[in-house]
Structure 1
Amino acid sequence: MKRRGFSLLLAASLAGCASPAPRYYRLAAVPGATRGGDARRIGVRNVGIPGDLDQNSLARPGNAYELNAYANDLWAAPLAAMLQTVMVQDLAQRLPGDVVLQDGGAIGAMPDVYVEIQVLRFAPDASGNVTLDAQIGVRPVSTQAWKLQGFSATAPGGGTPEGLAAAMSTLWGQAADMAAGLV
């Protein structure tokens, strides 16, 4: 009898130690100003991100020399892949007269124009403001003449995972506005 009581007590105490279930977040396309389009096929290539952003967890506000992450708040997909997918959605909304394709996706049509993005920084600071620093390159497939533009913007993230994902979506939409203007 004592053994059974001990087993129940042990099971109850271990149940109290279980960590909370993870919550998954994703970036979302945000509306922007629409532009015409020339029936081009625009290929959004893989988005480059720094190694410190290549992780499952959402970055938590911290100082310039420290990378913090939420323990149970995770990205629903790898961040670089999610950024590419959302950029395709953002550009398709902004350029309704063009076809925007995800490079490396199921449709292997050759694009007329490539869009390439290198993210340099995309994280919250100690006050919860999210900064996106990126380089955006656009070039027709038929030439090596690149249009290159730096992008830098900050949005309030509030210091919560939901606020962070919303601020990142907003900033990524602003980067899409710039990319649409370069196309």
Structure 2
Amino acid sequence: MMTRRSKMGRFARPRSTWARFAGPAGALAALLLAACASPDPRYYSLAAAGDASPPPAAAPGTTQPARAEPLWIEVAPVRVPERLNRAQLVVGDGADGQLKLLDLSRWSSPLPDELRDALSQQLQSRLGAVDTYQQGLSDVAPIYRITTEVVRLDGAVGERASATIAWTVRRLPDGKVTGGRTVADVPAPGQVDGLVGAYRQIVGTAAGDIATALTTLTTLRP
């Protein structure tokens, strides 16, 4: 008696052969895909969590007056050179003045916001002040407005960071203004973390200069 071979039976052996081939090939393909996957970028911030900088000493011959309420300030957005206004960190690349973007090292927010937030954090801590701009207090009139502009901000990974930051402090009730420039140069050892740490130091130096100028301005009569 002749038996009939089912269609499933006819193709069972080729399917088993394919399974033996697909196993090692599939594993190899997965390894190749994993090796070719791009690493995720790392994000950095200039604002330090829980920063508590000591208040500056009063200028010679002056004392910082006691206040019954917070010192209301407004830290305006920081102006930066357009070449630095990138999501990636912009660093020096050699001694010929060339720059390069670090695609895997990025700011957690636009650089002008990073600088403004870090500066505001430092000033509020040093002066016992409240930044009406940061807090969104539209119904509170600030007493002092701080404006800053980054004239120069240079950094090289594993080397140094330097900057020139111009700033002004305006007393809004009467329009008295004081201003200056902070010029800083600090070492940036290690990798990108060290460079970001050096930038934080520079912001702290600028905040100290501004806080001292503002404290002096509070003693001047209208």
Q: Structure 2-normalised TM-score? A: 0.72
Q: C-alpha displacement at 1:174, in angstroms?
A: 0.5
1:48-63 pair list within 5 angstroms:
48-62=79-93, 63=95
1:25 aligned to which of 5, 25, 44: 44
Aligned counterpart, 1:82: 114
1:1-183 pair list within 5 angstroms:
1=18, 8-27=27-46, 28=48, 29=51, 31-35=53-57, 36=64, 38=67, 39-62=70-93, 63=95, 65-96=97-128, 99-103=129-133, 105-108=135-138, 109-125=140-156, 128-158=159-189, 160-183=191-214
Match for 2:154: what amino acid? A
CA contact (8 A) 1:45 1:104 kept: no
Between structures 1 and 2, the one with greater strand share:
1
Instruction: Give the gaps of 5 or more residues in structure 2.
Output: 1-17, 58-63, 215-222
CA contact (8 A) 2:157 2:188 kept: no
CA contact (8 A) 2:144 2:169 kept: yes
Q: Structure 1-normalised TM-score? A: 0.86
The total of aligned residue pairs comes to 181
Higher RCO by CA contacts (8 Å cutoff, separation 6 or greater): 1
Instruction: Give the gaps of 5 or more residues in structure 1.
Output: none
Q: C-alpha displacement at 1:126, in angstroms?
A: 7.6
Q: CA-to-partner distance for each residue in 1:29-84, whole Å, 9 max, x for gaps?
A: 56244354554311111111111111111233424631112221111111111111
Between structures 1 and 2, the one with greater helix share:
2
Alpha-carbon RMSD across the aligned residues, in angstroms, is: 2.3
Q: Which has the larger radius of gyration?
A: 2
